[in-house]
């Protein structure tokens, strides 16, 4: 759908989705802050509704500023088209509502973002939808759970917050062999580091709240489809459910997106150094970071990603108590949930982002009470290291 598909990633991230505005030729795209669009005539309005003519009708159904963001992300993910949503969870729930019907079954990664799992287990279950959340790094395990009514394989790779990966190409092959759709939440990698559609996935989604916007000032989501058919199915449900993005929100996300590659590269450089430093620190028991050769899926990361990213999880030798002491002691790193922004954030998933998941389920999926999650930002590496060092000295 995007006009600039042939340029390199560095160029597409800056230009994709933008057409100079026809009135003032503004270099920054205009914010079409309108809920509705005037028809030229009764006939024109009717033709827009039947689809005989293309154009904008009403912002829940489409808007030029939102379209610019959708075209840009569709280009980065190499998809047919994208749909921007009011939050990442609006993207997740639209995907579930589109591809799961009454009595359907889905298989998902055990260590998903808490709400993406909780909505299935506590809400969709009311519509007869059943699920198995399992270790999706294990293909045999996935194979065992496929049933006649399984419709969807839903993975996060790397997963929040365990950093466990799934082999996306192998998952796609298995899913398609059994008639399932493969949906990948690509939030942790961002389109800069991983393109699941190229690896065989059918649909990709992001919480754009994170890396794509990158400035910790907007909540939003986006869904990218490989084919027109999938896009139209998702579009119909999104427009009926109403979880569409707002034009001002889209403009902010598009502004953030333009520096995505620069931010991802700088944060990744910091994360690689911090992960190496943490892994040799006397107070640190373990580090999960796909850029360390000690990560069990280091080879898979090199195969399917262009880099390990900037999310790290780790545990201290002093366990839960020491971890809490650390997050209460840091001064430069901010104690907050969310991730993927220019500033470094630290949090405790068991009591924060994943507290909606019961303790037993959490622990089975690797989200132990001692796990601390670090979203590494774009500050100077030495300042981040010194801040963590002074915090670790208190643990
Ligand atoms: N997918 C992933 C991988 C996420 O990490 C999140 C939010 C969502 C979807 C939902 O997106 P939202 O509606 O919040 O835009 N993750 C969060 C986290 O780890 N800390 O705070 C929110």
Token readout for 63 is 């808007």
Residue 232 lies in a domain: yes
Q: Is residue 368 part of a domain?
A: yes
The CA distance from 359 to 377, in Å, is: 29
Q: Domain check: are 121 and 143 in the same one?
A: yes
Integer Cα distance of 181 and 366 in angstroms: 26
In a domain, 1, yes or no: no
Q: Are residue 245 and residue 315 in the same domain, yes or no?
A: no
Report the relative pairing of strands 105-109 and 130-134 from DSSP bridges.
Answer: parallel
In the block, residue with structure tokens 């997050």:
327
pLDDT at 18: 84
Count CB atoms within 10 A of the CB of residue 89.
18
Closest by CA to 220, choosing from 66, 76, 98, 345, is 66
| pLDDT-derived band at 23, boundaries 50, 70, 90 | confident
Q: What is the pTM of this model?
A: 0.97
Q: Are residues 62 and 196 in the same domain?
A: yes
Domain limit, last residue, from 237, 257, 277: 257
**Residue 312 belongs to some domain of the structure:** yes
Domain that holds residue 270: 261-392
From CA 17, how far away is CA 37, in angstroms rounded?
A: 21
Decide if pLDDT at 3 tops 60: no
| Helical residues (DSSP H) of the chain, grouped into ranges | 9-15, 42-50, 64-77, 88-99, 114-118, 139-145, 168-177, 190-193, 228-241, 247-257, 260-279, 298-304, 319-329, 359-364, 381-393
Q: Are 277 and 242 contained in the same domain?
A: no
Q: What is the pLDDT of residue 6?
A: 80
State the pLDDT confidence band at 2, using cuts at 50, 70 and 90: very low
For 82-135, what is each residue's pLDDT tens digit? 999 999 999 999 999 999 999 999 999 999 999 999 999 999 999 999 999 999
Indicate which CATH number applies to the domain containing 276.
Answer: 3.90.1150.10
pLDDT bin (cut points 50, 70, 90) of residue 1 is very low
Closest ligand 1 atom to residue 221 Cα is 15
> Using 50, 70 and 90 to split pLDDT, how confident is the model at 22?
confident
Please give the span between the terminal C-alpha atoms of the chain, in angstroms, as a whole number. Answer: 53
Residue 46 domain-assigned (yes or no)? yes
* Cα–Cα nearest to 283, from 384, 162, 374, 395: 395
**43 alpha carbon to ligand 1 midpoint, in Å?**
43
Question: CA nearest 92: which of 189, 221, 191, 226?
Answer: 221
The per-residue pLDDT for 4 is 44
User: Which residues does ligand 1 sit against, CB inside 6 Å?
Assistant: 87-89, 92, 113, 116, 156, 160, 185, 187, 207, 209, 219, 221, 337-339, 353
Minimum mean pLDDT range among 13-22, 38-47, 147-156: 13-22
Q: Is the pLDDT of residue 230 over 60?
A: yes
Q: Is residue 2 part of a domain?
A: no
Looking at the structure, tell me whether residues 361 and 232 fall in a common domain. Answer: no
Contact in structure between 267 and 273 (CB atoms under 8 Å): no
- List residues bridging with 224 in a β-sheet: 82, 204
Clarify whether residues 240 and 281 are in a common domain.
no
CA 21 to ligand 1 center in whole angstroms = 33
- Whole-number mean pLDDT of the chain? 96
Closest ligand 1 atom to Cα of 210: 15
**Residue 46 sits in a domain of what CATH number?**
3.40.640.10
- The residues annotated with a catalytic role in the active site are 60, 113, 185, 210
36: confidence class by pLDDT, cuts 50, 70, 90: very high
65 shares its domain with 191: yes
Ligand 1 atom at shortest distance from the alpha carbon of 160: 3
Q: What are phi and psi of 251, to 5 degrees?
A: -65, -45
d(CA 232, CA 239): 10
* Measured distance CA(221)–CA(207) in Å, rounded: 4
Domain boundary among 257, 287, 305: 257
* Mean pLDDT, residues 368-376: 96
What average pLDDT score do residues 249-253 get?
Answer: 98
Q: Are residues 146 and 269 in the same domain?
A: no
pLDDT of residue 19: 81
Number of domains in the chain: 2
Mean pLDDT value of segment 328-344 = 98
Q: Has residue 5 got a pLDDT over 90? A: no
The answer to whether 208 touches 341, Cβ cutoff 8 Å, is no
Same domain, 214 and 109: yes
Nearest residue (CA) to ligand 1, atom 2: 113
Residues 43 and 76 in one domain: yes
Question: What is the pLDDT at residue 334?
Answer: 98
Nearest Cα to 296, choosing from 167, 192, 132? 167
20 within a domain of the structure (yes/no):
yes
310-346 burial, b for 16+ CB within 10 Å, e for fewer? bbbbbbbebebebbbebbebbebbbeeeebbbebbbb
Q: In the chain, what percentage of residues exceed pLDDT 70?
A: 99
CA of 115 to the centre of ligand 1 (A): 8
pLDDT digits (tens, 9 = 90+) for 137-175: 999 999 999 999 999 999 999 999 999 999 999 999 999
Considering only CA atoms, give the Rg of the chain.
21
Atom 11 in ligand 1: residue holding the nearest Cα:
88
The answer to whether residue 13 scores a pLDDT higher than 50 is yes
Same domain, 266 and 250: no
Question: Do 301 and 269 share a domain, yes or no?
Answer: yes
- Nearest protein Cα to ligand 1, atom 22: 338
- What is the DSSP track for 111-163? T--HHHHHIIIIIGGGGT-EEEEE-TT-HHHHHHH--TTEEEEEEESS-TTT-
Q: Give the pLDDT confidence score for residue 357 in this predicted structure.
A: 86
Q: Is the pLDDT of residue 250 over 80?
A: yes
Residue whose entry in the numeric block shows the structure tokens 């279950």: 125
Q: Which residue among 188, 223, 257 closes a domain?
A: 257
- Per-residue pLDDT tens over the stretch 263-309: 999 999 999 999 999 999 999 999 999 999 999 999 999 999 999 99
Q: Find the farthest-apart pair of alpha carbons in the chain and give their distance in angstroms, rounded.
A: 74
pLDDT at 21: 81
The verdict on residue 3 lying in a domain is no
């Amino acid at each position: 759908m995007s006009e600039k598909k042939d340029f390199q990633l560095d160029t597409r991230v800056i230009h994709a989705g933008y057409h100079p505005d026809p009135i003032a030729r503004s270099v920054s795209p205009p914010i079409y802050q309108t809920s509705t669009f005037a028809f030229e005539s009764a006939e024109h309005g009717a033709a827009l509704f039947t689809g005989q003519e293309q154009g904008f009708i009403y912002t829940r159904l489409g808007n030029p500023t939102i379209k610019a963001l959708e075209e840009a992300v569709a280009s980065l993910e190499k998809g047919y088209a994208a749909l921007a949503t009011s939050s990442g969870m609006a993207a997740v729930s639209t995907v579930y509502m589109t591809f799961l019907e009454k009595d359907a079954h889905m298989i998902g990664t055990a260590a998903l973002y808490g709400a993406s799992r909780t909505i299935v287990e506590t809400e969709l279950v009311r519509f007869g939808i059943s699920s198995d959340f399992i270790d999706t790094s294990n293909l045999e395990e996935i194979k065992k759970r496929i049933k006649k009514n399984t419709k969807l394989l839903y993975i996060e790779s790397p997963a929040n917050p365990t950093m466990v990966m799934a082999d996306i190409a192998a998952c796609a092959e298995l899913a398609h062999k059994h008639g399932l759709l493969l949906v990948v939440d690509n939030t942790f990698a961002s389109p800069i580091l991983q393109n699941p559609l190229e690896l065989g996935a059918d649909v990709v989604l992001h919480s754009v709240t994170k890396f794509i916007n990158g400035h910790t000032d907007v909540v939003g989501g986006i869904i990218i489809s490989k084919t027109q058919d999938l896009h139209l199915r998702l579009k119909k449900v999104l427009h009926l459910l109403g979880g569409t993005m707002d034009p001002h929100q889209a403009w902010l996300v598009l502004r953030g997106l333009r520096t995505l590659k620069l931010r991802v590269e700088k944060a990744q450089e910091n994360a690689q150094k911090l992960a190496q430093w943490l892994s040799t620190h006397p107070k640190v028991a373990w580090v999960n970071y796909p850029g360390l050769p000690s990560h069990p899926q280091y080879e898979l990361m090199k195969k399917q990603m262009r880099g390990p990213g900037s999310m790290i999880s780790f545990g201290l030798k002093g366990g839960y108590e020491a971890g809490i002491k650390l997050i209460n002691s840091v001064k430069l790193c901010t104690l907050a949930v969310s991730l993927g922004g220019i500033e470094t954030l630290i949090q405790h998933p068991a009591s924060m982002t994943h507290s909606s998941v019961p303790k037993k389920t959490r622990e089975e999926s690797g989200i132990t009470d001692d796990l601390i999650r670090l979203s590494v930002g774009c500050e100077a590496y030495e300042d981040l290291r010194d801040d963590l060092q002074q915090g670790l000295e208190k643990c």
